[in-house]
Amino acid sequence: MSVRTLSVQDAKRLIDAGALLIDIREPDEFAREHIPHARSQPVSVLTSGALDVGDASPVIFSCRSGMRTRAHADRLAQAVPCEAFILEGGLDAWRKAGLPISTDRNAPLELMRQVQLAAGSAVVLGVALGATLSPWFHALSAFVGAGLIFAGATGFCGLARLLRRMPWNRRAMS
């Protein structure tokens, strides 16, 4: 079974007629903002034929920009027993069309944004302290840079694991 893309307008019509909208982003991303009535089903834990969609037909998959859903289109098609579509442009296109978005500003920033903020701040701090106090502080920037290279090469990000354990993220993940 293949997955076709739908425009925001066509997706809205199908959703209003009873189609199921499934957001494949991670729980921290979904908690911050999502399309109303969307169901969270992270693609990272999705297995073939595993989605119980009940009587819903068709199913529309979405993510933030549409890139993740396109990248996993075959996998998504195999996960449901009915016709499946991808929301073209994802949440960003939905927002651009002026359609409602459920937003929780009290939810923490997405984990990867937290990593980017923490790593970027540490690099800037290391450079600033290295330029003003001691060149040895440049080692902080080098350490963060090496950590990012390691994370990119292996898929293991120690900073993300550390941030995931922070109290504000534990509350959001539960």
Domains of the chain: 3-103 (3.40.250.10), 111-173 (no CATH)
pLDDT at 56 over 70: no
Rounded Cα–Cα distance for residues 111 and 50 (Å)? 26
Enclosing H/E stretch for 71: helix 67-71
Rounded Cα–Cα distance for residues 106 and 111 (Å)? 14
Query: Annotated active-site positions, please?
Result: 63
Rounded Cα–Cα distance for residues 57 and 76 (Å)? 14
Q: Do the Cβ atoms of 66 and 93 come closer than 8 Å?
A: yes
User: Average pLDDT in the 127-148 region?
Assistant: 95
Average of per-residue pLDDT values in the chain: 89
Read off the pTM.
Answer: 0.74
Residue 82 confidence (pLDDT): 81
